[in-house]
Structure 1
Amino acid sequence: MLKVNFTGSLKAVALGWLVCSTPMSIAHADALLDEAVAFNGTILHLQSDAPGLILGAVRGGETSIMGFGETQLGNGITPDADTILRIGSITKVFAGEMLAHAVARGEVGFTDPVGGYLHGRLGEAVAKHPPIRLIDLVTHSAGLPREVPRAESPPKDPFATITHDAFAKWLETEQLQFEPGSSIAYSNFGFDLLSAALSDAGGMPYADLLDERITRPLDMTDTGFDLIEATADRLMTGHAPDGSPLPDVPSGSVITGSGGLRSTASDLLRWMQWHLDHGGPDKEVRFLDHAVYVQRDGMKTVLAMDESGRMDAMGLGWVAMASDAERPFVLQKAGALQGQMSYIAFAPEHGTAVFVSMNQFDFASAYAMTELANGLLANLSGY
């Protein structure tokens, strides 16, 4: 866990802040969980330069969520469980679960080539390459670049030029970076191909499919790709490294697998409760979703996978960290987009989960955020 030594007035400030912190929105009875969230959230907010942050945790079916600071610098509004924020690449583990749903329903197989689910120019372009399987896409082992080179987008719509035509153009003219399945290298491109394929297999737009299979059954009413006007006053504003606020921009219709989702701490920890369940009608989906499919051992190269803790294996978008003397087995994923950085992790065998988000790009704070969250998860799991 992140360690901070308080002395003198700083300690007094921290303790005063801790006394003033109160849980947001979700009622529960675990006072020790409240204390752990309040204390760790206070430490992280004091150490970071972010205007605001949200920290939440689940243990034994109980949930605690607390907000610190401001949703936008200077606005005086404290974030809470229902504050809407961009979760960036945490979107990828939703895509991983969507693949698990599709496999459980018999719509696709993990080792199916993606080209069989992509039509038109994009499908023809994929077919020019060695077969890329769905499992390669969801484990970052498909040989695709992180991003596809594209034309510059207008500032108010920065993702507008991320298109399926841009994907097809790259696939038509370039070679894969490595043979699928031989290495691991982080790829947003791969996850957007995955969501396009799952949309085809499911017979409806990906956003509708996600609503039908994940968010609506769990009453995750604030999780989706578009900002609803009625909820705009609950929005967390992201900030650039210099502290200036960044505008809210549309996600577009293509980055549905890689990073376009918005959500709230309340919705995400409700989702974590689903992950920590061991029964019910979705137990087959959970079984598929919590497995690991690609071991680090044996890969020729591993790139850009260790920022939130060393990757020992890859699951369905989840970064798997093996248990050791200091932590349980953990599935985790970080995300950053438009001045917001978030991290979610859970220990399936211990009934514990942690979510944290801050609203300013600051990579030193990002490392501190994930270190603290991993430490908190270990502590809540009895380590």
Structure 2
Amino acid sequence: MRAKILAGLLLGLWIGPGAAPGRADPLLDEMVEFDGVIGSLSVGSPGFVLAAIRDGETAVRGFGDRGDGQAPDGDTLLRVGSISKVFCGAALADLVARDRLALTDTLESRAGFEGVSFPERDGVPIRLIDLVTQSSGLPREVPAQPGPPDDPFAGNTHAAQLAGLGAPLLFTPGRGILYSNYGFDLLGAALAHTAGQPYADLLAERVLRPNGMADTTFAPTPEQEPRLMRGHDFSGAPMPFAPTPVTIECAGGLYSTPNDMLRWLAWQLDTGSAEDAEWRLLDQAAWRYRDGLDPVSGLDDGGTMDAMGLGWVVMLPRDNAPLVLQKTGGLQGVFSYVAMAPSRKVAVFAAMNQFSVTGFPAMVKTVNDLLDALAGR
């Protein structure tokens, strides 16, 4: 398959499938097509998909095999892994914009956990802003036994999360940054308790349905399952479609499609609109800068982290490069990456369906290079 792609590149005849609705920019099509070919060869995964939006126009290109003999396209359903965190951050920003909570509220005041002793360090409690900016002092994962291969998240239970709160924090909240899925697990619980509804319902009501993201879900339906992209482990072996427990929804539970991601990015880039203006402003702000923090670990995989937003990794402008908000994801054999430059009205999303220590940085480079080219000078 890769030989055919390369032949198409050399001949200038490769036609990629899967354009998103509203495509009307031939130059954008050309750039996504060309970079997608190079990217698909560089990442080395069975399947690869690249999507971009510029000034409201979109393009999607898919390459290789999503697991059923077909190339991925704009409607291919795939795990976005930890990109779920920026959706959780948006749900938090929405509740703040509607005066339902404050970023400085403590986890203890919002979680609704009865009879639980919440950890502190140096007299400093964990606040919601600490959870969402990866600065809580909690470990990366919930202390729990992993589940079986076909249900690997089974050990991440509500009981395990509560039990883990008995361990000392690794650093004083707000004084350092350490990537923590555990922190986002707890953030999801706090948002659900504050909203008085399951986190999945809150996200669907406030974020997904208003943006027409009908394919973005925590549990694919039988009708969606034929469009799933199957992930592969580091050896290349197919991985199962594992269920998503409620406990990991905020941290990494979402499935989405390239077309739905473009709908989400269109909302993010609509910075001139008065509708949702405060919400969007909160969601895209830098809340915790790297300067002076110790430790800082686990946030540079998509590029050097200068600050943390509400789940977003913020890269400040350098030379001719714009301010970029980005987030990586990886779950069940699918790596994904999204990056946007709101001031330039451009964003790029990509996914590959095999874990690979060389393929992941190649995917990141493909996205960042395309974003830079689309942003201009």
2:47 alignment partner, one of 23, 46, 52: 52
1:156 CA drift (Å): 1.8
Contact 2:18 2:75 in 1 (8 A): no
Structure 2 residue aligned with 1:125: 117
1:24 CA drift (Å): 2.3
Which structure 2 residues correspond to residues 103-182 of structure 1 after superposition, within 5 A? Answer: 103-121=96-114, 124-126=116-118, 130-172=124-166, 174-182=167-175
Paired residues in the alignment total 372
Which structure 2 residues correspond to residues 1-383 of structure 1 after superposition, within 5 A? Answer: 12-16=7-11, 19-72=14-67, 75-121=68-114, 124-126=116-118, 130-172=124-166, 174-277=167-270, 278-383=272-377
Point out the more displaced range, 147-156 or 318-327: 147-156
1:371 CA drift (Å): 1.3
Contact 1:115 1:127 in 2 (8 A): no
Contact 2:6 2:37 in 1 (8 A): no
- Match of 1:158, SS state, is coil
Give the counterpart letter for 1:250 in structure 2.
P
Alpha-carbon distance in 2 for matches of 1:330, 1:270: 18
1:290 CA drift (Å): 0.7
Contact 1:126 1:168 in 2 (8 A): no
Contact 1:18 1:39 in 2 (8 A): no
1:272 CA drift (Å): 0.2
Contact 2:17 2:71 in 1 (8 A): no
1:315 CA drift (Å): 0.4
CA distance 1:332–1:128, change in 2 (3 Å): closer
CA distance 1:18–1:29, change in 2 (3 Å): same
Point out the more displaced range, 150-159 or 255-264: 150-159
Alpha-carbon distance in 2 for matches of 1:90, 1:367: 16
RMSD, matched Cα: 1.7
Contact 1:184 1:301 in 2 (8 A): yes
Contact 1:26 1:65 in 2 (8 A): no
1:241 CA drift (Å): 1.5
Alpha-carbon distance in 2 for matches of 1:160, 1:193: 16
Alpha-carbon distance in 2 for matches of 1:17, 1:250: 42
Q: Deviations over 1:269-300 (max 9, x none)?
A: 10000001121421110000010010000112
Give the counterpart letter for 1:218 in structure 2.
N
Alpha-carbon distance in 2 for matches of 1:53, 1:10: 12
- Match of 2:268, SS state, is helix
Structure 1 portions without partners, runs of 5+: 1-8
| TM-score when normalising by structure 2 | 0.95
Q: Deviations over 1:7-60 (max 9, x none)?
A: xx9964533475232452424221110011000110011122201111000001
Give the counterpart letter for 1:212 in structure 2.
E
CA distance 1:168–1:245, change in 2 (3 Å): same
CA distance 1:43–1:356, change in 2 (3 Å): same
Q: Deviations over 1:212-268 (max 9, x none)?
A: 000011110010111111110000000111211111010111001110000000001
CA distance 1:12–1:104, change in 2 (3 Å): same
1:154 CA drift (Å): 2.4
1:326 CA drift (Å): 4.2
CA distance 1:341–1:10, change in 2 (3 Å): closer
Alpha-carbon distance in 2 for matches of 1:164, 1:244: 31
1:175 CA drift (Å): 0.3
Alpha-carbon distance in 1 for matches of 2:5, 2:204: 46
Contact 2:120 2:126 in 1 (8 A): no
Alpha-carbon distance in 1 for matches of 2:147, 2:318: 45
Alpha-carbon distance in 2 for matches of 1:308, 1:102: 28
Give the counterpart letter for 1:184 in structure 2.
I
- Match of 2:223, SS state, is helix
Structure 2 residue aligned with 1:6: none
- Match of 2:247, SS state, is coil
Give the counterpart letter for 2:276 in structure 1.
D
CA distance 1:207–1:10, change in 2 (3 Å): closer
Alpha-carbon distance in 2 for matches of 1:22, 1:262: 21
- Match of 2:350, SS state, is strand
Moved over 3 A (4+): 9-13, 127-130
Alpha-carbon distance in 2 for matches of 1:213, 1:304: 29
Contact 1:18 1:42 in 2 (8 A): no
CA distance 1:116–1:18, change in 2 (3 Å): farther
1:152 CA drift (Å): 3.2
Alpha-carbon distance in 1 for matches of 2:81, 2:5: 33
1:119 CA drift (Å): 2.4
Give the counterpart letter for 1:131 in structure 2.
P
